[in-house]
Structure 1
Amino acid sequence: MHLGRIFLPTRIHHMAQTQHSKLYLQALSALTFLIIHGGVLAAAGATPSNSNNTSTTATERVKENDTSASSPSSSKSSSTASPTVLPEIGVSSTRIKQDAITINPTQTITTIEAKELERTQPTTIFEAIRDTPGVAIEGGPRPSGMTFNVRGFNSNEDVQVRVDNVPKGFEKYRFGGTFIEPDLLKSIEVQRGPQIASGSGSLGGTILAKTKDAADLLKPGRRYGGRIKLGYASNNDEVQRSYLAFARPVDAVDILYNRTYRNSNDITHSDGSKLPQSKVNSRAQLLKVGIFPTDFLELITSVTLLEESGLQPYDALTSDPGLSNFGNVLRDIEDLSIAHTAHWNPEYRWIDLSATVAFGHTKVLETYLPGMSRNRSCGLQGVTFCGNDYHDQKVKGITLELTNTAQLYKQDNFSISLLTGLQYRSMENETRRTTDSQGPNINESFPADGFWAASTSGENAYTAAFIQSRIQYGRLGIIPGVRVDWYEISSTEDRVKRHLAEKGLSSEIDFDHTSYSMGLTFDAIANSLTFFANYGEGFRPPSINDYFTYGDRAGTPPKPANWLPNRPWLGEVGLGPPYSSGEGRCNTPDTNFLCGDVFKIQSSQSSEIGVHYQTPNLFGKNIQLMSKFTYFHIETKHLLRYFSIDDLTNTYVPQDGWEKRNGTEFEGSLFYKDSYFRANYSRTWGSYFNPQTGNISSIAWVPANTLNLTIGTQLTSRVGINASYRKVSERPLINGGTQDGYELFSAGGFWSPTDNLTFRIIGENITNKDYHLNGGGDFSGLLGNRGPGRNIRLITEITF
Structure 2
Amino acid sequence: MTRSRLRGTTALILVSLCATPVAAQEVATDINTVSGFLGTLYLTPGKRDLSLGGAVPVTTVDAEEIEDRQAGTIAELIDSVPGVTLINGSTPQGSGINIRGYGANEAYGNDQKIAILVDGASVGSEELYRIGTQLFTDPLLYRQVEVLRGTIGSFEYGSGIVGGVVKLETKDASDFTGGVPGFRVGQSFEFSSNTAGAVSSTTLAWQPTERAEFLLNYTWRQQDDQVDGDGHEIGNSGFETPSGLLKGKFTFGQDDEHSVTLSYSRTTADEKDVPYDTFGTTGGSFGNVDRLTETSQTTLEYRYNPVSDLIDLTATLSYADQQIEYSYVPGSSPLEFTPTWPFLRDTVNADQQYETTKLTVKNAAMFQTGIVDHTLRAGVELSRRERADNDAASAPGGEDNRLAVFVIDEMRFNGFTLTPALRWEKSEVESATTYGDFENDALMGGVALAYEFGNGLSVFGSYAYTEGLPIIDDLGPAAVNEWRMTTTEKSDTWELGASYASVDVFSPGDNLSVRGSYYQTELWDITSYSATGSTSPNLDRVETEGFELEASYGFASGTYVDFQGSWTEGTEYADGLSDTDWRNKPGDAVGLTLGHKWGDWLDMSWEVRHTTDARDALEADLPDYTVHNLRATYRPQTGALEGTEIRFGIENAFDLDYTGNLSSRDAPGRTYKLGLSKVF
Q: Which range, TM-score by smaller chain? A: 0.7 to 0.9
Counterparts of 1:467 and 1:793, CA distance in 2: 46
Counterpart for residue 109 of structure 1 = 58
Partner of 2:137: helix, strand, or coil? Answer: coil
| Alpha-carbon offset, residue 127 of structure 1 | 0.6
Match of residue 174, structure 1, among 130, 149, 152 = 130
Contact 1:102 1:113 in 2 (8 A): no
Higher strand share: 2
Contact 2:53 2:450 in 1 (8 A): no
Contact 1:65 1:97 in 2 (8 A): no
Counterparts of 1:594 and 1:133, CA distance in 2: 37
Counterpart for residue 407 of structure 2 = 467
Match of residue 258, structure 1, among 209, 217, 222 = 217
Counterpart for residue 191 of structure 1 = 148
Counterpart for residue 609 of structure 1 = 496
Call closer, same or farther: CA 1:792–1:544 in 2, change over 3 Å.
same
Q: Give the gaps of 5 or more residues in structure 2.
A: 15-21, 105-109
Is 1:342 equivalent to 2:314 in the alignment? no
Residues 423-502 of structure 1: pairs in structure 2 closer than 5 A: 423-432=381-390, 451-452=391-392, 455-493=395-433, 496=434
Map Cα deviations across residues 619-659 of structure 1 (whole Å, 9 max, x no partner).
36111111001000000001114669x99xxxx96966100
Residues 498-509 of structure 1: pairs in structure 2 closer than 5 A: 507-509=436-438
| Alpha-carbon offset, residue 340 of structure 1 | 0.7
| Alpha-carbon offset, residue 17 of structure 1 | 12
Counterpart for residue 447 of structure 1 = none
Counterparts of 1:274 and 1:98, CA distance in 2: 35
Counterpart for residue 19 of structure 2 = none
Contact 1:239 1:262 in 2 (8 A): yes
Contact 2:546 2:568 in 1 (8 A): yes
| Alpha-carbon offset, residue 192 of structure 1 | 0.6
| Alpha-carbon offset, residue 375 of structure 1 | 8.6
| Alpha-carbon offset, residue 120 of structure 1 | 1.0
* Alignment-mate amino acid for residue 304 of structure 1: S
| Alpha-carbon offset, residue 357 of structure 1 | 0.5
Counterpart for residue 446 of structure 2 = 517
| Alpha-carbon offset, residue 244 of structure 1 | 0.8
| Alpha-carbon offset, residue 199 of structure 1 | 2.2
Is 1:163 equivalent to 2:121 in the alignment? no
Q: Which runs of 4+ in 1 moved over 6 A?
A: 53-56, 62-66, 93-99, 378-381, 386-389, 733-736
Counterpart for residue 731 of structure 1 = 614
Call closer, same or farther: CA 1:517–1:178 in 2, change over 3 Å.
same
Counterparts of 1:545 and 1:93, CA distance in 2: 39
Counterparts of 2:538 and 2:271, CA distance in 1: 41
Contact 1:94 1:527 in 2 (8 A): no
Is 1:305 equivalent to 2:305 in the alignment? no
Counterparts of 1:341 and 1:108, CA distance in 2: 27
Call closer, same or farther: CA 1:695–1:621 in 2, change over 3 Å.
same
Farther off after superposition, 355-364 or 99-108: 99-108
Counterpart for residue 392 of structure 1 = 351
Farther off after superposition, 535-544 or 246-255: 535-544
Counterparts of 2:30 and 2:263, CA distance in 1: 26
| Alpha-carbon offset, residue 758 of structure 1 | 2.4
Map Cα deviations across residues 664-716 of structure 1 (whole Å, 9 max, x no partner).
0000111223332210000000211022x332222242111101111222224
Call closer, same or farther: CA 1:379–1:164 in 2, change over 3 Å.
same
| Alpha-carbon offset, residue 720 of structure 1 | 2.2
Counterpart for residue 107 of structure 2 = none
Counterparts of 1:146 and 1:714, CA distance in 2: 34
Counterparts of 1:374 and 1:333, CA distance in 2: 25
* Alignment-mate amino acid for residue 143 of structure 1: P
Residues 211-290 of structure 1: pairs in structure 2 closer than 5 A: 211-219=170-178, 221=180, 223-290=182-249
| Alpha-carbon offset, residue 607 of structure 1 | 0.9
* Alignment-mate amino acid for residue 662 of structure 1: E
| Alpha-carbon offset, residue 455 of structure 1 | 3.2
Counterpart for residue 666 of structure 2 = 786
Call closer, same or farther: CA 1:736–1:217 in 2, change over 3 Å.
closer
Counterpart for residue 555 of structure 2 = 672
Counterpart for residue 45 of structure 1 = none
| Alpha-carbon offset, residue 468 of structure 1 | 1.6
Counterparts of 1:251 and 1:284, CA distance in 2: 28
Counterparts of 1:123 and 1:700, CA distance in 2: 28
What RMSD in Å do the two structures reach over aligned CA positions? 3.6
Match of residue 523, structure 2, among 606, 615, 636 = 636
Residues 395-794 of structure 1: pairs in structure 2 closer than 5 A: 395-409=354-368, 414-432=372-390, 451-452=391-392, 455-493=395-433, 496=434, 507-524=436-453, 526-547=454-475, 549=476, 584=477, 586=479, 595=482, 599-619=486-506, 621-641=508-528, 657-673=540-556, 674-691=558-575, 693-731=576-614, 738-753=621-636, 754-775=641-662, 784-794=664-674
Counterparts of 1:298 and 1:245, CA distance in 2: 21
Farther off after superposition, 279-288 or 135-144: 135-144
Map Cα deviations across residues 22-58 of structure 1 (whole Å, 9 max, x no partner).
x99xx9xxxxxxxxxxxxxxxxxxxxxxxxx9999xx
Farther off after superposition, 786-795 or 737-746: 737-746
Match of residue 796, structure 1, among 670, 676, 680 = 676
Partner of 1:542: helix, strand, or coil? Answer: coil
Counterpart for residue 581 of structure 1 = none
Residues 72-91 of structure 1: pairs in structure 2 closer than 5 A: 86=37, 88=39
Counterpart for residue 121 of structure 1 = 70
Partner of 2:660: helix, strand, or coil? Answer: strand
Contact 2:287 2:329 in 1 (8 A): no
Contact 1:202 1:538 in 2 (8 A): yes
Counterpart for residue 356 of structure 1 = 316
* Alignment-mate amino acid for residue 153 of structure 1: Y
Contact 1:306 1:335 in 2 (8 A): yes
Call closer, same or farther: CA 1:617–1:147 in 2, change over 3 Å.
same
Partner of 1:116: helix, strand, or coil? Answer: helix
| Alpha-carbon offset, residue 608 of structure 1 | 0.4
Call closer, same or farther: CA 1:614–1:374 in 2, change over 3 Å.
farther
TM-score, normalisation: structure 2:
0.87
Counterparts of 1:639 and 1:346, CA distance in 2: 46
Partner of 1:738: helix, strand, or coil? Answer: coil
Counterparts of 2:530 and 2:487, CA distance in 1: 9
Contact 2:655 2:669 in 1 (8 A): yes
Match of residue 279, structure 2, among 317, 323, 327 = 317
Larger Rg: 1
> What percent of counterpart residues are identical?
22
| Alpha-carbon offset, residue 263 of structure 1 | 1.8
Call closer, same or farther: CA 1:190–1:594 in 2, change over 3 Å.
closer
Is 1:200 equivalent to 2:162 in the alignment? no
| Alpha-carbon offset, residue 481 of structure 1 | 1.6
Counterparts of 1:374 and 1:401, CA distance in 2: 48
Contact 2:566 2:590 in 1 (8 A): yes
| Alpha-carbon offset, residue 232 of structure 1 | 1.1
Contact 2:183 2:205 in 1 (8 A): yes
Call closer, same or farther: CA 1:793–1:611 in 2, change over 3 Å.
same
Contact 1:191 1:205 in 2 (8 A): yes
Partner of 1:117: helix, strand, or coil? Answer: helix
Call closer, same or farther: CA 1:620–1:681 in 2, change over 3 Å.
same
Partner of 1:407: helix, strand, or coil? Answer: strand
Contact 1:159 1:204 in 2 (8 A): yes
Q: Give the gaps of 5 or more residues in structure 1.
A: 1-12, 28-52, 67-78, 433-450, 501-506, 550-583, 587-592, 777-783
Match of residue 210, structure 1, among 158, 169, 172 = 169
